Amino acid sequence: MHFLHPGQWLHHHMMRYLSISNRALIQIIKPKPGRNGKKLVSDFDGEVPSDIDSLLTIPGVGRKTANVILAVAFDTPAMPVDTHVFRVANRIGLTNNSKTPLQSEMELVKYIPESMLTKAHHWLILHGRYICMARRPKCEICGLSQWCKYYEKKGRPSLNMTAPYF
């Protein structure tokens, strides 16, 4: 993928994916003197690399951002692990009490079919935002409760049909 300005290409793809404000995104990806923009031009001839090792050499690009770029821009199977994915995967038992996002990523990639990785990532994010929330998970309406380690450990609550779900 060739582009004139590193920030323009990333801006388009990351804005769609991350659901953050335009100003915040520009601060993250705008080329900084001697940093990511120059590196893309000097080391990669103005092309965003399509492999994780090369992406990780760019200043300001961590493992999650590299995986997002691979999944969204290059349609490559990847599992970006953010706060929601890390927490939810540990909570429901998809990972075996991973201590780091990298451990979670490695376990999830091992067990989720390649064709489902990007979708599974989005499902875990949404599940963590709206059902399996950090402080008050909504176990009583969760479709995964019969397989969930957290639900099994904390005991099966009675359904509270009077409480609002959302």
Q: Is the pLDDT of residue 14 over 60?
A: no
Give 39-75 pLDDT, tens digit per residue. Answer: 777 888 888 889 999 999 988 889 999 999 998 888 8
> Which residues, including other chains, have CB under 8 Å from residue 158's CB and lie 6 or more apart?
140
d(CA 128, CA 145): 13
Determine whether 64 is an active site residue.
yes
Q: Is the pLDDT of residue 105 over 90?
A: yes
CB 66 within 8 A of CB 27: no
Set 30, 38, 82, 138: catalytic member:
82
| Domain boundary assignment for the chain | 6-73, 83-154
- The CATH architecture assigned to 83-154 reads Orthogonal Bundle (1.10)
Answer with the residue of higher pLDDT: 156 or 106: 106
Determine whether 149 is an active site residue.
no
d(CA 100, CA 102): 5
